[in-house]
Chain A
Amino acid sequence: MKIKKTEDKKPRKADSKIIGKLPVFLILYISAFLVLSWYFLYVRNADTMFFFQDRGWWNSTQLFWDTCMLRPGGFLSWAGAYLTQFFYYPALGCAMLIALWLLTFGLAKWSFRVADEWSFLLLIPLAALLCSIIQLGYWVYILNDVDYVFYHSLGLFAALLLSVPFWKYLPVSEKVRQWIALVWIPLVAALFYYPLGIYALLAAAIITIQNSSQSSGAGETKFKIQNDGLLHFFTFHFSLFTLLFLTLWLVPLLETAGTTLMRPDQPWMYGFRKFEMEHLHDIALEFPFYVVLVAPLLFPLLGRLKTGKLVLSQSIMLVVAAGMFFCLYLRDFKDYNFHAEMRMQRGVEECRWNDVLREAARVKGPVTREMVMLRDIALINRGEFCSKRYTYNNESIQPVTVSDSIHIRIADQAADLIYYSFGETVFAIRRAIERCMHYGYSYYTMRMLTRCALVNGETENARKYLRLLSRTTFQKKWAKDMQRFTEDEKLLPQDERFRMPLKLYNEGSELVGTDDSYVELTIMKKWMYSLTNDPDAQEVALGCAMLMRDQKCFWSQVQQFYNINPGKHFPIHVQEAMLFGVYELKMQGINLSFVEFDERVVERYKAYFERLNLYSSQGMNEKQIGAALRPEFGDTYMWDYCVLREVQTN
């Protein structure tokens, strides 16, 4: 016991020396982590953080609480989903998350008495948590954890909280305390397995190691053995670890024995995030969680690191910090299109057409087909589908070229939003519901289902979704605003969010079929064959026929445009396509005498082919010709038709 007292005093002295001067290291480490977290979370990923929130789901009903609590880690799920809501204001959500991390850091430092100069090491699991959020890329679309961002951070905090050795201060002898630990370890796991899942097991493991290390700290073991006897020493440690392994094995097994909501063969890993799909397993994405689960086990040992050797400690800290930054930088998903897609989806949903087009114009490299579709929706709503479509970048990449382990398609991204925007509410509902089942309900899906129900005239169904949305924190306002449409459907066409979808819904033909997960192709094919008398809807049909490069449909839509828009000029791209069809594709039996062409269109058309023939005569290949023509003619239908041949719809 004497030795124990001496041992207790030592670090306090060392601590007080440093703290007495100034907690420089602490301030430095916290500041560095704060800057790092803010940079990666908010500066680089604000749109992703909003997206996490929007694809999350929490509501204040008892039913939601009960549903969460049916599974191990239920409380973490509920609380995680609740806190994720705050990314509705990304800065607020980020601040809350970082605050939780700093709280975790403080708790760990206090709990394990880690010296300031070594405390940077406590940030390793927190950096791993940060990494787990920013590295996801397209996996965010198929995450079924509505609580993902906060779940593990809360779990780690809770595990550390449970392992705080309150019982250490009990007025009992050390032997008694040791035996109390033997009760506390299984008790923590058993009591908290359902609320905290795997993190209750982590707490049990930390307590074990903490207790073990306290009983056999450096320089103390020899005296311990002398004092307590070899038998007691080994009996205690053997009992401790045997108990831990029994606890880790039995608690999940017994507590999940009655549940039907999870695979009986995986009770030990419940709450551990795995990134696997059919034939894909991305271990790199799982790695941060291994760090989160393993690093805290070493925390009890950090309190024993010697203080005063600043050169050594700070060199190590520097290496760790550099490694941390490097890892975060490397793992941050930087794909521009990935972020632009999220901004464009939000823009389309909120009818901010100018923002969507600005985003589309900003992209320099090849774009995704989803971006093309979202941009086209903005153009349709502004009545510019056939006059400005080819002034934007249509050079598209294939999903497989995205630097991500998962190659998802529009069907898994914003298919419902796209279908809805084209008035295909049934297909939108189908995609929304399918996603709900695969990846859980979300505010986004609820809003989408509400809008579809309103367009379909399914008012009671819309009310159901609004009822649920009104029980959330940040969607109440939207739900309240939508309420008026359930009371008076005549208001729908007057609202920008419904105007065009409703028109396309009403003008579109009724067909029976399926999309085979080809969202773009399904929409284009339906509309290029649709004959409508509504000028806005007909322009969509005409644009789709041009996009699909189907001459028969195109000329039939041209005729329809002429019929329903007497005296109106054909949009620029349609004029280009007509000239191209007759003179380049040699369409027979077309009489263009009724068309009044813009002079500039005709001039550019001629110039385009003159230049093309010239480059061709110089022996340039197709790719080189396309690149050479792009600066001057990249905004024409002809260039798009001739150069972007390998574009595949998604």
Chain B
Amino acid sequence: MEDKRMKDETMKDAKKSDGMRFSFSHFFIFSFLLLLLVACSKHPSLPSTYTQTDAEPSIWPDYVGVTVPPNIAPLNFMVDSVDDVVAEFQAPNTKLCYGGKANKVQIDEDEWHEMLSAAKGKSLSVTVYTEKGGKWMAYKPFNIYVAEEDIDPYISYRVLPPTFVGYDELAIRQRNLTNFEETDIYNNRQISKKMEGQCINCHSYQNYGTDNMMFHMRMQNPGTMIVCDGELVFVNLKTPEMISAAAYNSWHPSLPIIAFSTDHTMQSFHTRDVSKVEVMESASDIVIYDVKKNRVQTVLNDSTEMELFPSWSPDGKWLYYCSAHYEYNKKYEDTDELLENYKRLQYNLYRLSFDAESMTFGEPELIYDARSKQRSAVQPRISQDGRYVLFAEGPWGLFHIWHTSADIQILDLGAIDHSPLTIDHSATPDTCQNNGQCSMVNVKCLNSPLPESYPSFSSNDRWILFESRRDDGNYTRTYFAYFDRDGRLHKPFEVPSEDPEYFRLLLRSWSRPEFMKEPVRITPRQFYEKALTEPIKVAQ
């Protein structure tokens, strides 16, 4: 009996202890899960105690006071030299907190789009709290303005090291702006053999679509990849009459015609100037290529004019371009002479009327006399309504991304008499502020002390895309700016990235960005396979 009682007691103890073990293990599991939940939570809580400051936070990238499209990907950001950061986003009817993971604020995509949708035409208010050494600080809230108009959902660009003459590693990529998805359109690694690289450049699209698009390949497997009505062709555009194979280009908005410049490019290095490189064209002309007929037609070939960067107006009736006047002393293309006079190569903006039926062009018309201001205007782009001409302006030459003083400019054709064109060429952006009739838009908020270049309009004209080296002076990044219906520009912002530190760490440039309404459907492998074939020659 004694034994049995003892046994029962022992059993009871054992059960008790089992019960205790059970509850303890559950407690630990529960605590662990809770911790995990807190750690993984999208929404950290705000600090209960903090010091308030009147200063706006210094965030990277700088999204303070920017205007964004309602379909843009989350504007993730970070704060330097802090241990922790929490940001409270206040949209109409919503308040959400993000951060709490070191010094980065990364926003949930779905919630972000909901917030933007609610704040369309209004703004988001963002309050940033930072923690350093256990002490929290709250900054003055700032606004992110949300425009009514969407941005084109895709951009494409070249990704390359800030290189000069090597082409081992180069890609044309596309990025979905509504999220962070980024894919290759074509990557030269598919063809490059060690140091024998392949240059790929000048990607362009007809009317922001990808059923008609193109880009060039140089060095290995040279030729031009053209997608026409979804069909891929590989063409050798060089004809005996052309200076070189085709280069800078523009698709006619409705016809299967591409305007090209054809040129001799040379590159030299500065020994001290931080601009580092000068790119020059020792000769250049403009031709058009009929994709369907596979024929090239010369448009401009004046040996004393260096015509470049053709750009069709959206109605297809005008071909804009830029040109620098230069006459060689020795009556031949003397590159040494040009090297000594490279600062004299200053480009003006011109345009030609175009008759699609007869395929003929009118006489050159000066649109913008940059040379008279000792400046050089290149890379013109026309707004869809035909009113504005967007271009890059630098001290000389055509590669303004290497010129620290290069800026984006906008010429307002609507503010001037159209027939014939009468433009106040002495106008500067600064004089435009109080002058409603001025032909130049005030672009002060768009530019920085570092280079800006390669601008373009979105398909609805409300967004301007351009490249800039304002981050660090050396690596090119993509920026967007809102251009409202009243012709006012708003503070630009850098293309958002999932990791806000991405562009700070990336040792590649994103250059020559272009808007697209849709992704490229031809796969990189299809381009590669096509590149292995012999390019078709232009019919004579």
Chain A residues engaging chain B, CB cutoff 8 angstroms: 61-63, 144, 257, 260-264, 276-278, 424-427, 429-430, 433-434, 436-438, 441, 453, 456-458, 460-461, 463-464, 467-468, 505, 508-515, 526
Stretch from B4-12, B150-158, B263-271, B282-290 contacting the other chain: B263-271
Inter-subunit contact A63/B499 (CB<8 Å): yes
Dominant SS at the B interface? loop
Given the interface contacts A430-B164, A434-B165, A437-B169, does A63 sit within 8 Å of B268 by beta carbon?
no
Inter-subunit contact A426/B271 (CB<8 Å): yes
- B354 within 8 A of partner (CB): no
CB distance from A349 to the nearest CB of B (A): 21
- B486 within 8 A of partner (CB): no
Q: In whole angstroms, how far apart are the Cα atoms of A263 and B196 in the complex?
A: 13
Inter-subunit contact B473/A433 (CB<8 Å): no
Inter-subunit contact A260/B271 (CB<8 Å): no
Q: Which B157-182 residues have a C-beta within 8 angstroms of A? A: 161-166, 168-169, 171
Taking CB atoms, residues of chain A closer than 8 Å to B499 are 62-63
Inter-subunit contact B268/A436 (CB<8 Å): no
Inter-subunit contact B273/A458 (CB<8 Å): no
Considering residues A257, A434, A505, A512, which has the most beta carbons from chain B within 10 angstroms of its beta carbon?
A512
CB distance from B269 to the nearest CB of A (A): 6
Taking CB atoms, residues of chain A closer than 8 Å to B189 are 260-263
Inter-subunit contact A63/B163 (CB<8 Å): no
- B399 within 8 A of partner (CB): no
Given the interface contacts A63-B502, A426-B276, does A437 sit within 8 Å of B168 by beta carbon?
yes
CB distance from A463 to the nearest CB of B (A): 7
Taking CB atoms, residues of chain B closer than 8 Å to A514 are 267-269
Inter-subunit contact B272/A510 (CB<8 Å): yes
Given the interface contacts A426-B270, A426-B272, does A437 sit within 8 Å of B191 by beta carbon?
no
9 additional A-B residue pairs with CB within 8 Å, beyond A426-B270, A426-B274: A61-B501, A260-B525, A261-B189, A424-B271, A425-B272, A433-B163, A436-B161, A509-B271, A514-B267
Q: In whole angstroms, how far apart are the Cα atoms of A35 and B134 in the complex?
A: 53
Question: Lowest 6 CB-CB distances: which A-B pairs, in order?
Answer: A260-B187, A460-B472, A260-B184, A260-B524, A510-B272, A461-B472
Residue of A nearest to B450 (CB): A460
Taking CB atoms, residues of chain A closer than 8 Å to B278 are 512
Considering residues A276, A436, A508, which has the most beta carbons from chain B within 10 angstroms of its beta carbon?
A436
Inter-subunit contact B507/A441 (CB<8 Å): yes
Inter-subunit contact B274/A458 (CB<8 Å): yes
Q: In whole angstroms, how far apart are the Cα atoms of A438 and B507 in the complex?
A: 14
Inter-subunit contact B273/A426 (CB<8 Å): yes
A276's partner among B190, B192, B194, B502 (CB-CB below 8 A) is B194
CB distance from A293 to the nearest CB of B (A): 21
- B1 within 8 A of partner (CB): no
- B339 within 8 A of partner (CB): yes
Chain B residues engaging chain A, CB cutoff 8 angstroms: 161-166, 168-169, 171, 184, 186-187, 189-196, 267-274, 276, 278, 339, 342, 471-475, 499, 501-502, 504-507, 524-525, 528
Considering residues B164, B272, B499, which has the most beta carbons from chain A within 10 angstroms of its beta carbon?
B272
Taking CB atoms, residues of chain A closer than 8 Å to B475 are 464
Taking CB atoms, residues of chain A closer than 8 Å to B193 are 263
Considering residues B196, B270, B342, B499, which has the most beta carbons from chain A within 10 angstroms of its beta carbon?
B270
Inter-subunit contact B472/A464 (CB<8 Å): yes
A510's partner among B171, B270, B504 (CB-CB below 8 A) is B270
Q: List 15 A-B contacts (CB under 8 A).
A: A61-B501, A63-B499, A276-B194, A277-B194, A277-B195, A278-B194, A426-B270, A434-B163, A436-B507, A464-B472, A468-B505, A508-B271, A510-B270, A513-B339, A526-B271
Q: In whole angstroms, how far apart are the Cα atoms of A453 and B472 in the complex?
A: 10
Q: In whole angstroms, how far apart are the Cα atoms of A47 and B165 in the complex?
A: 31
B268's partner among A61, A508, A512 (CB-CB below 8 A) is A512
Inter-subunit contact A512/B342 (CB<8 Å): yes
Taking CB atoms, residues of chain A closer than 8 Å to B186 are 260
B276's partner among A260, A429, A437 (CB-CB below 8 A) is A429
Q: In whole angstroms, how far apart are the Cα atoms of A511 and B278 in the complex?
A: 11
Inter-subunit contact A264/B525 (CB<8 Å): yes
CB distance from A363 to the nearest CB of B (A): 31
Given the interface contacts A260-B184, A278-B195, A458-B473, does A510 sit within 8 Å of B273 by beta carbon?
yes
Q: In whole angstroms, how far apart are the Cα atoms of A276 and B471 in the complex?
A: 38
CB distance from B112 to the nearest CB of A (A): 21
CB distance from B103 to the nearest CB of A (A): 13
Taking CB atoms, residues of chain B closer than 8 Å to A63 are 499, 502, 505-506
Inter-subunit contact B472/A458 (CB<8 Å): yes
Taking CB atoms, residues of chain B closer than 8 Å to A512 are 268-271, 278, 339, 342
CB distance from A358 to the nearest CB of B (A): 32
B191's partner among A263, A278, A426 (CB-CB below 8 A) is A263
Inter-subunit contact A438/B274 (CB<8 Å): no
CB distance from A609 to the nearest CB of B (A): 40
Given the interface contacts A63-B502, A63-B505, A458-B473, does A437 sit within 8 Å of B166 by beta carbon?
yes
CB distance from B237 to the nearest CB of A (A): 25
Inter-subunit contact A264/B528 (CB<8 Å): yes
CB distance from B98 to the nearest CB of A (A): 18
Taking CB atoms, residues of chain B closer than 8 Å to A513 are 268-269, 271, 339
Taking CB atoms, residues of chain A closer than 8 Å to B191 are 263
CB distance from B215 to the nearest CB of A (A): 14
Q: In whole angstroms, how far apart are the Cα atoms of A518 and B271 in the complex?
A: 15
Inter-subunit contact B272/A434 (CB<8 Å): no
Q: In whole angstroms, how far apart are the Cα atoms of A218 and B131 in the complex?
A: 71
A463's partner among B163, B169, B339, B472 (CB-CB below 8 A) is B472
Inter-subunit contact A510/B271 (CB<8 Å): yes
Taking CB atoms, residues of chain A closer than 8 Å to B524 are 260
Taking CB atoms, residues of chain B closer than 8 Å to A427 are 269, 271
Residue of B nearest to A263 (CB): B190
CB distance from B399 to the nearest CB of A (A): 13
Q: In whole angstroms, how far apart are the Cα atoms of A278 and B220 in the complex?
A: 12
Residue of B nearest to A457 (CB): B274
Inter-subunit contact A460/B473 (CB<8 Å): yes
Residue of A nearest to B340 (CB): A512
Inter-subunit contact A278/B271 (CB<8 Å): no
CB distance from A606 to the nearest CB of B (A): 42
Taking CB atoms, residues of chain B closer than 8 Å to A441 are 507
Q: In whole angstroms, how far apart are the Cα atoms of A276 and B193 in the complex?
A: 9
Taking CB atoms, residues of chain A closer than 8 Å to B472 are 458, 460-461, 463-464
Q: In whole angstroms, how far apart are the Cα atoms of A460 and B472 in the complex?
A: 5
Inter-subunit contact A438/B168 (CB<8 Å): yes
CB distance from B349 to the nearest CB of A (A): 26
CB distance from B220 to the nearest CB of A (A): 11
Residue of B nearest to A419 (CB): B271
Taking CB atoms, residues of chain A closer than 8 Å to B163 are 433-434, 437
Given the interface contacts A437-B163, A438-B195, does A430 sit within 8 Å of B272 by beta carbon?
no
Taking CB atoms, residues of chain B closer than 8 Å to A453 are 474
Inter-subunit contact B164/A434 (CB<8 Å): yes
B190's partner among A262, A458, A468 (CB-CB below 8 A) is A262
CB distance from A136 to the nearest CB of B (A): 16
Q: In whole angstroms, how far apart are the Cα atoms of A429 and B524 in the complex?
A: 32
Considering residues B192, B472, B507, which has the most beta carbons from chain A within 10 angstroms of its beta carbon?
B507
Taking CB atoms, residues of chain B closer than 8 Å to A438 are 166, 168, 195
Inter-subunit contact A467/B272 (CB<8 Å): no
Q: In whole angstroms, how far apart are the Cα atoms of A260 and B269 in the complex?
A: 32
Residue of B nearest to A61 (CB): B505
Taking CB atoms, residues of chain A closer than 8 Å to B268 are 512-514
Q: In whole angstroms, how far apart are the Cα atoms of A464 and B502 in the complex?
A: 12
CB distance from B183 to the nearest CB of A (A): 9
Q: In whole angstroms, how far apart are the Cα atoms of A634 and B151 in the complex?
A: 74
Q: In whole angstroms, how far apart are the Cα atoms of A424 and B506 in the complex?
A: 25
Residue of B nearest to A462 (CB): B472
Taking CB atoms, residues of chain B closer than 8 Å to A264 are 190, 525, 528
Residue of B nearest to A453 (CB): B474
Taking CB atoms, residues of chain A closer than 8 Å to B272 are 425-426, 505, 508-510
Inter-subunit contact B161/A437 (CB<8 Å): yes
Inter-subunit contact A461/B196 (CB<8 Å): no
Inter-subunit contact B274/A434 (CB<8 Å): no
Q: In whole angstroms, how far apart are the Cα atoms of A526 and B269 in the complex?
A: 13
